Amino acid sequence: PISAASVIDAFRIVVTNRLSLCYTVATTLLFGSLFGFINSAQQIYDGIYGLGVWFPVLFACVASMMAVSSYANARLVGRFGMRRLSHGALIGYLTVNVIIFALALAGPIPLWLFVGLFTIGMLQFGWIGSNFNTIAMEPLGHVAGTASAVQGFVQTIGGGVIGAAIGQAFDGTVVPFTAGLCILASG
């Protein structure tokens, strides 16, 4: 039955489940890196690399790799398991972002290298977010509707705020962007 008491009880169950809470926080941080990319993409692709009208094409190419990895996710989960795939992909995502960050600290990164490495990172992103979200929902089947609403709210608002902060940190280089991705991936 829908009542204030049942909704409050379901909300309490969601926020006190340690496994669910930890994976929700991890997914929020990952959404922060995605929203950071969305907030920074034009500044980076157009402001640093001067792509102009080619910006949407390159943006779509990177996004398409996320779509490909999301599509392949079902087969890979069946083969490797959800936790193994997502945790391995997170390690790969962090590694790629650390490499990009180190290169950015050394000086300007050529466009082809930045996009190539970043695309590899976003390919792995597609194996992390959906699996982390599913793992966060596993122990909450009996309050799935409330759990989904709470987790979606936290992930979207938290990720949006984090992503906005990354976008606002732009200084004419990719250093703040890549530093943000490293911090979020290691969180």
* pLDDT at position 141: 86
* pLDDT at position 1: 66
* Tokens 């890196």 -> residue: 33
Query: Tell me, what amino acid is at 16?
Result: T
Instruction: Please check whether residue 167 is in contact with residue 36, taking contact to mean a CB–CB distance below 8 angstroms.
Output: yes
The sign of the torsion formed by the CA atoms of 167, 173, 179, 185 equals positive
* pLDDT at position 145: 86
State how far the alpha carbon of 9 is from the alpha carbons of 4, 63, 66, 142, 146, in Å. Answer: 8, 39, 36, 12, 10
* pLDDT at position 160: 96
* pLDDT at position 4: 84
CB within 8 Å of 99: residues ≥ 6 apart: 117
Is residue 71 helix, strand or coil?
A: helix
Is residue 51 helix, strand or coil?
A: coil
CA distance 100 to 102: 6
pLDDT along the chain (187 residues), means of 10: 80 89 94 95 94 93 90 93 96 97 96 95 92 93 87 94 96 96 93
